Structures are given as structure tokens and as C-alpha cells.
Structure 1
């Protein structure tokens, strides 16, 4: 099983897509780093900045367009979706560009200073009104979750048969990568034990809330991008941010913020552990597939020692 390769997109193909939507005049077409599943380019048209993303994965971006409308409609700085389409075998989406650079490119001091704002954004995301939709797990193009319960989602994403998805034949990783079956199964069983704590809580989850998907001007967060969006316990996003910024006191800052705002969080510790297991398990599989051995070992150590 080889690491996933993002699609190669010829500059002429990009120019044609942009010409179809904007007419002539798109300039400064520049590849952007980041994004493991999309080929991403920025460009300028009539003085405004935009982004176009290409993917060969089935149904790519229809959900992102829905999420864009949902979040930007509720005052969250997420790029507005302008166009969806297909070019040959590739799906694409054109979005407004939010100014700023990846938070990951800021200094450690700059990142630390923006933690209170990150906590505020997490709180905003957790409060997104999702009552018009139903279901758990992956958000579909119609805005509903793909599963009837959180447990159904957890079981499905870790099942062996993932035909037609990014994880097709993932059990091969036990033979071809550093993924260890006994470790995976141990953490999966622990995850199932915590599902009852997470299951009653249905909110919006960004699913990739970390420095590479957060934009900053160095002093403030200018917006959130991308996402692996789903419905479930919004503490999943807190767990993701804490694992990516482990020296920034994220959990304590979050609890302090909620206490000050008068927000009570039932079963906080258990829900957070369930969230760590949920994201960590997927992380193990992803790091193994990508060949990122150090990230795999670090996540493995963290998860196995979580209840120690």
C-alpha cells in the first residue's frame, strides 16, 4: 500500500478552469503547501485573492461548499465557496482567500499569544447551530451526518472493509508499514468503552483543527480553512489542537474559558479521553500509511499511556 499521491494539475488546466468562471485575467497562480488530499493553488483576479483546490476523490468539495455556507453564515471566518465543478477526472472548488499565513509558520511566542483566540474559536465552533440537520459522522453534501449514532460512525470508520474510500485495503498496513495490529485493537477497544460519554453530544466538528489549517497575521487568527468535517462531540477539535500544540496549556485554557463564560461541560475528562482515542486511532493509521514513523511512535506512546 503506497502513500497517497495528490493529483498533478497542469497549469494550463488550472488556467482553463479559472477562465471558465472568471473570464480572462487570473494571475499569480501559485501552488500552496499543506493539504494531504488536495492540490491547492492561490491566484488573484481583479485585485482579489482566491484559492482553487483539485481532488480525484469521489464527491470531493460538495460537503466543503455546504460547510462554507454553514460556518460563514454563522459569523465564523471560514472561506466562502464561489464555485464547484469538474475538470476531466478532477473535482475542484474555488473559494475566497483569507489573508494570513499558516499559524504553524508563526514563532512559538506568536502561537502562544494567540491561544486565547483559538479557545474562543473552538467555543464558537461548538456552538454552531446544527439543529436543522441530523445524523453523526461525515457531513454529506445535503448537510446531514452519514450515520445514525456516534457509535455507528466509530465502528464504520475502523471497519476492515473500506471499499472506495481513502482507507481501501487498509489492513494491508499491518504487513507493509509500522502499524501494529495488537496496538490498534487495544486502542480501538478502549475507544468503544468511552463512546457512551461522547455519544449524547452532537455538535459541529472541524476535524483537523491545528496550526496548518489556521491562518494568522502574526497577532490574530484571520480564519480557519479545510476540515474533515463531521457531527459528534465537539471536544474532538479540542483534542486535536492539544495534541498539535502540547506545550501551550490548551486544555487548561479551554476549561478556564468555559468556567468564566458560565458554560458547564458534563463528563469533560471522559469525553476528552474518548476524543483522544478517536482521533489518535485514525492518526496511527494515517501516519503508518504516509510512512511518518516518528509521528506514529509519538501518538502510539501517548494513547497507550492515556489512562496510566
Structure 2
């Protein structure tokens, strides 16, 4: 399988961190985190920090904007301490949030924390974004990049791409990515996207249990905002439900909002649309990674979703 993370072992990270800080650090440990960044935790003057290494420095500028704009509004985001570039390596340093990732806990304990996660998600869906404009990826300026949510989704899977997805259509010829299946699901997804609201919301973009920390009682941090965007908040609920349907988190949010007198129009259509977006993205990602088992697993999930409709 192919890895998309920068080459960096613990010893190299240790030397790099000390070079950046011009001081000694201790307890440098690798964190198995995400698909595109190499991440390590360490201690400096007995305080914990996390450093991310990534080939794309723009994501760290975006992190700075998001922290400054939204952490004060009740969103549990680790404080960004420093970001920059040394020897062609982009990095970002944040304070280490207390707690452990949700996925390390048994399901029974995760369920006990879900009410607080609902509260955090609700705050995220309510933060004002009127200071910005447009939809899709949030740039370091704070604005989105597209004139509508559907335009963003369409561009997300467009043939002409830059960066990570440059020339990704070649995967239909060079890998096990199946064009007919992909395009059939894409057509359904775009049709469902017409039910999305015109209102813009802050969307995390990768809202799953691996990006959430807890102390056992509450959510202490929501991390990895690299995919943050403006659009339909159901995208985050769909991401969560695609990977952990047994938790029924979207329905829990819906029920909680109904109790507060809030409705979610076109709930089922928007949820399915979000899950199909996540599924299609997973298909092409695992095809590019040459991970056939993961690809087949995602395909099975998509087929199951379509059978239920």
C-alpha cells in the first residue's frame, strides 16, 4: 500500500523539534493520526504539545484562522502555538489536549459521552459565519471558495484538480476504481444535494471518533480541522454515520434539536447525500492508496446504503 505521509521517524522528529524551539524536549512519541500528516507528541518544560508535519503548509495557516475565529465560541479546539517551515518541511505545534481519542474506548463508554458531543456539534452548527462568504474549503483568509454547495461538491469530484487529487481520473484505468459504479453513485448524490439548504454552516469535514478527545465525561477537543469548509452541517453527521452507524448519532442530534423546537428539513436526503460523498471519496482514496480491502469495505457500505433507499 502507498503512504501519503511525510517521511519522519521519532529520532528525526526529536531533532527537528529541538531545532525549531532551540531548546531540549522529551518524551517524543509518534501518534497514529490521519492519512496525510505525520504527528508526534512531546513535552517541553513539562507541558505537553503535538506537532504535525505535512507537505501542505496552507492547511496550517487555515488552522490558525479557525482557532482564532471559533475557539472562543465554545468549540474545543487545541490552541495553535506556532507554525512554519524549516528545511522544506511544514509544521504546526499545538497544545496537547487532555484525554484520549474516542476510538480507544469501548462503545459503552463512548455512548455515555455522546450527549456532550451533541452539545458540541450543536455549537458548531450555530457559530456565526457571516464574517465570511462562499461555500467549500475555508481559505486562510476565512472565506470559502465556491458560489454554492453543489458547485463545491461537483468540483470536489471534478476531473481537473490540483494538489493531492491531480490527475485522479487515471485511477479508473490504472487501479481497481470502477468508473460505472462510481458515476452511478455520483449521479444519485448530486440529485440528493439539491435538498441542501442555502444557509452556510461551519463544517469540520472529517467528523469521526478518531478526531475527538475525551476525559471520560466530556469532549475535551475536536482535532484535525484540515478539511474544514462552509456548507451543509449534515456532511459531518453523514461522516460520523458512515463509519459508526451503530451509534445512531445523526438521529440523536435530530431528536435533541426537536426537543429544542428545531427541525432539520430533508433530513434523510441530506444524510444520504453526505454519506455518498464520503463513500465516493473513500473509494478513490483507497484506490490511490492501493488498499483493496478498504476499498471493498467502503463499496459494501455504499451498496448497503443504496439498498435501503
User: How high is the TM-score relative to the length of structure 2?
Assistant: 0.92
SS in 2 for 1:147: coil
Deviations 1:90-130 (A, max 9, x none): 11111111011111111121112222222222211111211
Q: Which residue of structure 2 lines up, in the alignment, with residue 135 of structure 1?
A: 134
Deviations 1:117-162 (A, max 9, x none): 2222221111121110011111101111111111221121111121
> Quick check: 1:137–1:145 contact (8 Å CA) kept in 2?
yes
> Quick check: 2:76–2:219 contact (8 Å CA) kept in 1?
no
Residues matched between the structures, number: 306
SS in 2 for 1:131: coil
> Quick check: 2:282–2:298 contact (8 Å CA) kept in 1?
yes
- 2:173 & 2:302 partners in 1: Cα distance? 22
Please, which of 205, 208, 215 is the counterpart of residue 206 of structure 2?
208
Alpha-carbon shift at residue 181 of structure 1 (Å): 0.3
Alpha-carbon shift at residue 68 of structure 1 (Å): 1.9
Deviates more, 1:183-192 or 1:294-303: 294-303
Q: Which residue of structure 2 lines up, in the alignment, with residue 274 of structure 1?
A: 273
Unaligned runs of at least 5 residues, structure 2: none
SS in 2 for 1:204: strand
Q: Which residue of structure 1 lines up, in the alignment, with residue 231 of structure 2?
A: 232
Q: Which residue of structure 2 lines up, in the alignment, with residue 59 of structure 1?
A: 58
In the alignment, does 2:188 pair up with 1:190?
A: yes
Q: Which residue of structure 1 lines up, in the alignment, with residue 106 of structure 2?
A: 107
Alpha-carbon shift at residue 3 of structure 1 (Å): 2.6
> Quick check: 1:71–1:77 contact (8 Å CA) kept in 2?
no
- 2:242 & 2:209 partners in 1: Cα distance? 11
SS in 1 for 2:43: strand
Deviations 1:181-229 (A, max 9, x none): 0111011111211222115131011011111111122343221110311
Please, which of 204, 221, 225 is the counterpart of residue 219 of structure 2?
221
Q: Which residue of structure 1 lines up, in the alignment, with residue 95 of structure 2?
A: 96
- 1:19 & 1:295 partners in 2: Cα distance? 37
Q: Which residue of structure 2 lines up, in the alignment, with residue 244 of structure 1?
A: 243
- 2:129 & 2:32 partners in 1: Cα distance? 31
Q: Which residue of structure 2 lines up, in the alignment, with residue 38 of structure 1?
A: 37
SS in 2 for 1:61: helix
- 1:216 & 1:92 partners in 2: Cα distance? 25
- 1:287 & 1:114 partners in 2: Cα distance? 31
Q: CA RMSD in A?
A: 2.0
Unaligned runs of at least 5 residues, structure 1: none
- 2:115 & 2:291 partners in 1: Cα distance? 31
Q: Which has the higher helix share?
A: 2
In the alignment, does 2:64 pair up with 1:69?
A: no
SS in 2 for 1:266: coil
Alpha-carbon shift at residue 301 of structure 1 (Å): 3.2
User: How high is the TM-score relative to the length of structure 1?
Assistant: 0.92
SS in 2 for 1:251: helix
Q: Which residue of structure 1 lines up, in the alignment, with residue 123 of structure 2?
A: 124
In the alignment, does 2:18 pair up with 1:27?
A: no
SS in 1 for 2:245: coil
